[in-house]
Structure formats: structure tokens, C-alpha cells
Amino acid sequence: MLKGAMADLRRENATLKLKEQGLFKELGFLRKENADLRLRLLDLSDKLGRSKERSTRRLSRLEETLETRSRELKLQKSEVAKAREKVAALEREMAQCLASLEASIRLREETAVAAAEASFAEKPKFKGMLEAAVAEAESSFATKPKFLEMLEVYAIETYE
């Protein structure tokens, strides 16, 4: 019985050694897989770090661009406001100039009308003086009929 128990123990020991060898192999595979997973984790962590760094840089650039454009927009708004003020001032100045010009035109019209009326009032007097001058010229050039004819035509055309 002892021999049988010994044989059983040896078989069991051999089986356990085989199992132990299998477990050692499995442990080796698990350690290798664990090392591979750690390497992959390091690689992924490195990629994540680089990606985060790129994203941070890009975000910084975008924030700088946004700030720059915001400043430019404020400047443009300021320039537009100044331009509007200038246009309003020019419109006021134009309205004043237009009003002044209209008043000047009215004054000039009134002056021209008065001058024309005065001219018409003096026309008979001037016509009388001209007729006297023509009569005097006629008497002095009575011997020159061609000149006399030209003078009459001129006088008639001018003062009719």
C-alpha cells in the first residue's frame, strides 16, 4: 500500500510539476503580455501628451488670434465712429454752406433784378443820347451814303 501511495504521490508530484511548468509558462506569457501592455500604455501616454501639447499650442494660437481680431474690431469700430462724426460734421457744414449759398443767390437775384430795372429805366435816356450821336454822325457823314446805311442798320439792330 505504501508502494501504491508512493507511486500515487510520485504521479501526483509529476502532475504538479507539469502543472507548475505550465503555470511558469503561463506566468512568462502573462509577464510578457504585461510588459507589452506597459509599453503600449507608455506609448499611448506619450501620444496623449503630444496631442495635448499640440492642442494646447493650437488653443493658445487661436486665443491670440481671437484677441488680435478683437482689438482690430475695436479699432475698426472706433474708426467707423470717427468717420460717422466727421460725416455728420461735414453734413452740418454742407447745410450751412447751402443755406449761405441760397441766401447769396437770392441777394444776387434781387441785385440783378434791381440792376435790370434800373437799366430799363435809363434806356430811354440812353436811347435819346444815342439818337443824338447818330444824328450828329449822320450830319458829318452825309456825303458817305454807305457808312450812313451801315450806321442805321447797326443802330436799329442794337436798340430795337
Residue range 115-151, pLDDT digits in tens: 777 776 666 676 777 777 777 766 665 556 666 677 6
pLDDT for the residue 147? 65
pLDDT for the residue 40? 95
pLDDT over 90 for what percent of the chain? Answer: 41
As a whole number, the mean pLDDT across the chain is 84
Summarize pLDDT for 81-114 with one digit per residue, the tens: 999 999 999 999 999 988 998 888 888 888 887 8
| Structural domains in the chain (count) | 1
Query: What are the backbone dihedrals phi and psi of residue 144, each rounded to the nearest 5 degrees, phi first?
Result: -115, 90
How far is the C-alpha of 12 from the C-alpha of 30, rounded, in Å? Answer: 26
For residue 103, the enclosing domain spans 2-159
pTM greater than 0.85 (yes/no): no
